[in-house]
Amino acid sequence: MDDRAALHIFVLTLQCNQGCTYCQASSRDKHAESCTMSKEVLKRSVEFMFQSPAHVLTMEFQGGEPSLHPELVRYGIEVAENLRKQQSRDIRYVLCTNCVDVNDDLLSLCKEFNVLISTSLDGPEWLHNRNRGKADSYQKVVAGIKKAREVLGNNAVSALQTTSVMALDHPIGIVDEYVRMGFHDMFLRALNPYGLAANNDDWSQYTDRFVEFYKKAFEHILELNRQGISFVEDFATIILRKILTPFDSGFVDLQSPAGIVNSVLVYNYDGNVYTSDEGRMLAEHGDYTFCLGNVFDQYEDIVYGPKVQQLAQVWSAETLAGCFDCAWRPYCGADPVRNHSTQGDVYGFRPSSLLCRKNKTIITYLVSLIIERYDEVMPIFKNWLQ
């Protein structure tokens, strides 16, 4: 069955009410109204999504800050619901929001359509506020998470952590903040060299420091689990599922063929369609390499068009020098967008790829844990994979 493109990201607006130091979404001031999707483009984008053959669709609202335009969230869902009923398809909705402005109306919309909330929390109050560039951001986010949990239930609210340069020295405090906030899992996430984040420090040094940060945080998470606190690290779980089971979690960034186009399509506020959110972010800085066309074009011309055919030659790790004979290939993935943005060519060169270095080091670390500390870690990992 052709099950491609299950995840569809709708960038409703670039407007945002925060000013994060590491912003990867190329957000703009909240008054930048020209960077907001029209209803006409939104309707056409939803219709475009429904041409994807995937039986279960995920419609994800992103920005900028999509909660600044609740009318568009509602309209997008209403159009999708009509098509879903006509075509007997399954769909799940995700609202990616910083939770700063979640109000009763927005939450009742989420309740009505089972919309999951994906927010971001960077760690303790001082760190979160400094990353966000606002003195009261943490307070507002925590209040927003609490409110969303009350209306939607705990399981409907998840949070993503992003490891800024400032965060690298605080692995324990960041994990503890997630535990304190009542989360049962976290994704220890490195910065990506896209958007405004590309202006950050030396990426080679950042990568090595991130891996050290990851290991310290991970050891702390293992210790919490040994103490009886069930707490999951999501990136490791994605890799462990590949290593220890016959299944794959479908995580877009660790797939071969790559997740771009195969698992995800992105609709920008102006109707342009991109291979992935990272491809869209490059375009915000003038690089349209991964723009596939516009929602007013034919679906086939976009997802089977010449650009995708070219990318298909470099999106399988099995055919890439460096990857094809790498021991970790079954657990890793191909990423032509990252290769292009960091190395200037979609094929990439593994010996100097920082993404390869990070993946290789973390996979090696997880495998060494299984080999050297089997009795200690396997009960925890099995629990995570249930």
Residues engaged in binding ligand SF4 (CB under 6 A): 317, 322-323, 326, 328-329, 332, 350, 356, 359-360
- We find the least distance from the C-beta atom of residue 360 to ligand SF4, in angstroms, to be 4
Amino acid identity of 107? L
Rounded distance between C-alpha atoms, residue 19 and residue 211, angstroms: 26
Whose Cβ is closer to ligand SF4: residue 8's or residue 340's?
340
Amino acid identity of 311? L
CB 192 within 8 A of CB 278: yes
- We find the least distance from the C-beta atom of residue 191 to ligand SF4, in angstroms, to be 18
Q: How many CB atoms lie within 10 A of CB 118?
A: 18
Whose Cβ is closer to ligand SF4: residue 62's or residue 339's?
339
- We find the least distance from the C-beta atom of residue 239 to ligand SF4, in angstroms, to be 11
- We find the least distance from the C-beta atom of residue 329 to ligand SF4, in angstroms, to be 4
- We find the least distance from the C-beta atom of residue 346 to ligand SF4, in angstroms, to be 14
Whose Cβ is closer to ligand SF4: residue 75's or residue 347's?
347
Closest by CA position to 162, among listed 144, 189, 138: 189
- We find the least distance from the C-beta atom of residue 212 to ligand SF4, in angstroms, to be 18
What is the SS3 assignment for 173? helix
Rounded distance between C-alpha atoms, residue 334 and residue 132, angstroms: 31
Whose Cβ is closer to ligand SF4: residue 35's or residue 260's?
260
Peptide bond into 257 cis (omega under 30): yes
- We find the least distance from the C-beta atom of residue 316 to ligand SF4, in angstroms, to be 11
Whose Cβ is closer to ligand SF4: residue 13's or residue 192's?
192
- We find the least distance from the C-beta atom of residue 21 to ligand SF4, in angstroms, to be 28
Whose Cβ is closer to ligand SF4: residue 6's or residue 311's?
311
- We find the least distance from the C-beta atom of residue 350 to ligand SF4, in angstroms, to be 4
Rounded distance between C-alpha atoms, residue 101 and residue 279, angstroms: 28
Closest by CA position to 366, among listed 243, 220, 264: 243
Distances (CA, A) of 176 to 20, 55, 211: 22, 38, 19
Q: Rounded to 5 degrees, what are φ and ψ at 273?
A: -105, 135
What is the SS3 assignment for 289? coil
Whose Cβ is closer to ligand SF4: residue 21's or residue 343's?
343
Whose Cβ is closer to ligand SF4: residue 44's or residue 329's?
329
Conformational region of residue 261, where left means phi above 0, alpha means psi within -120 to 50, and beta covers everything else:
left
Rounded distance between C-alpha atoms, residue 116 and residue 161, angstroms: 17
Degrees to nearest 5, angle at CA 271 with 345 and 91: 95
In the block, tokens 């999509």 appear at 66
Whose Cβ is closer to ligand SF4: residue 142's or residue 312's?
312
- We find the least distance from the C-beta atom of residue 252 to ligand SF4, in angstroms, to be 15
Q: How many CB atoms lie within 10 A of CB 155?
A: 9
CB 20 within 8 A of CB 197: no
Whose Cβ is closer to ligand SF4: residue 194's or residue 328's?
328
CB 285 within 8 A of CB 199: no
